Each structure stands twice: as C-alpha cells, then as structure tokens.
C-alpha cells in the first residue's frame, strides 16, 4: 500500500474526461483502490476519485460516516465504484456544503440532486444498482463529477457561499434557499 499524491485544482488531470476501466477485476485496479483507500484515510476525506491521484480512470471510492443528520443512521463503509452511471431521480435539487481534497481549506454550498440512481461495479466486480439520497447522493455526484473533469466550483449557483473552512466555521451560515429545481446542474 502507498499514500498517493493528491492533484490540486489547476492540474490538468482534474479537467480531463477519465477513461472507462476495461477490467474492474484487474489486479492493478485492486491495487489502485487499496492505495486510494490509504490516501483517503491519511487525508481525512469522505471520497476520492482516481483522477485526483493522477489516474485518469472512471473509478472512485467513498464512505458515508454515520450520524449525518439528514441521513439518520446511514453508515456506509468505504466502497469503490467503477465505471459509474449516475441518473437523477426526480428534479429536486438541494444545497449542501462540500469540500474537496483537491481544493484544500475551502468549502462551498453546491446544488445537487436530492436523489439519484447509481449504477456501476464495486471493487469485487459485483454490480451496483441502487437509488440513493441526501448526503450519500451528494458524495456520489461530487465524486462522479471528477471523472468528467468537473469540480464543485463549476457547479456553484452562488459564489457568496464559498469560503475558507477556518472562516466559515466561525459563523452560522444559513444556506441559500433552493429555487433551482429547473436549473441544469447535470447533463
């Protein structure tokens, strides 16, 4: 295992459209997932996409820690999603705070679909086919965006809600009201 270097915003790998993983069961893919897991653990985030570690492949890992208010007891251990397909379910869009390991120290309120349909293959080669909502859906949309060269500032609706973690945590910052159900935040 190895801790990988994380690309920061400005590196072209983060703007590229990543290539499909030809064989999700290949040993080098398993090794990449292991190294990404160690890198995520070291960096302290909830998700990491392969382009963020300079591998332009359609694969990400994520976890959903328990105790998130909007998701109740939901607690999803670290998992990999290979060649994901994300399909919005309904047109409800919600605002929520997001950070990114490629944009250290900052966070922003970003609109995301409340519910999406997630399809793909997991790290063991098993099919993923599930409907997900709330913070879980937010994390997956954020990570899947990385595979298309999209980072969260490119999804923002209001740049007033963009700042340094150190500053934002000093203030009770109410999120902007949602009036975005018809806005094209996905394609």
Which positions are catalytic? 143
Q: Which is nearer to Ni ion, 81 or 100 (CB)?
A: 100
Q: Quick one: how many helices (H) and strands (E) in the chain?
A: 3, 8
Strand ranges (E), the chain: 47-49, 59-64, 76-88, 93-98, 106-113, 115-121, 127-133, 162-164
Least distance CB 132 / Ni ion (angstroms) = 17
- Among residues 100, 108, 116, 132, which is the contact residue for Ni ion, using CB under 5 A? 100
Q: Which is nearer to Ni ion, 163 or 181 (CB)?
A: 163
Please, are residues 25 and 108 in contact by the beta-carbon 8 Å criterion? no
Q: Which is nearer to Ni ion, 8 or 179 (CB)?
A: 8
Closest by Cα among 153, 150, 132, 135 to 187? 150
The answer to whether residue 46 forms part of the interface with Ni ion (CB under 5 A) is: no
The answer to whether residue 4 forms part of the interface with Ni ion (CB under 5 A) is: no
With CB under 5 A as the rule, give the number of residues binding Ni ion: 1
Closest by Cα among 86, 109, 111 to 185? 111
Which region, judged by CB under 5 A, interacts with Ni ion, from 29-37, 81-89, 100-108, 131-139? 100-108
Q: Is 137 helix (H, G, I), strand (E, B) or coil?
A: helix
Least distance CB 108 / Ni ion (angstroms) = 11
Binding footprint of Ni ion on the chain (CB under 5 A): 100
């Amino acid at each position: 295992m190895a801790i990988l270097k994380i690309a920061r915003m400005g590196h072209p790998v983060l703007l590229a459209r990543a290539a499909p993983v030809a064989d999700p069961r290949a040993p080098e893919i398993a090794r990449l997932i292991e190294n990404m897991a160690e890198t995520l653990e070291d960096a302290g985030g909830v998700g990491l996409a392969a382009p963020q570690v300079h591998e332009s492949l359609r694969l990400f890992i994520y976890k959903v820690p328990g105790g998130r208010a909007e998701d109740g007891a939901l607690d999803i251990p670290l998992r990999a999603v290979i060649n994901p397909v994300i399909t919005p379910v309904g047109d409800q869009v919600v605002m929520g705070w997001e950070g990114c390991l490629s944009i250290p120290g900052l966070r922003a309120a970003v609109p995301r679909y409340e519910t999406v349909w997630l399809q793909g293959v997991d790290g063991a080669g098993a099919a993923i086919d599930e409907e997900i909502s709330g913070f879980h859906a937010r994390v997956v949309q954020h990570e899947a965006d990385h595979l298309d060269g999209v980072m969260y500032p490119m999804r923002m609706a209001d740049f007033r809600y963009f700042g340094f973690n150190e500053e934002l945590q000093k203030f009770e910052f109410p999120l902007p009201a949602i009036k975005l159900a018809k806005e094209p935040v996905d394609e």
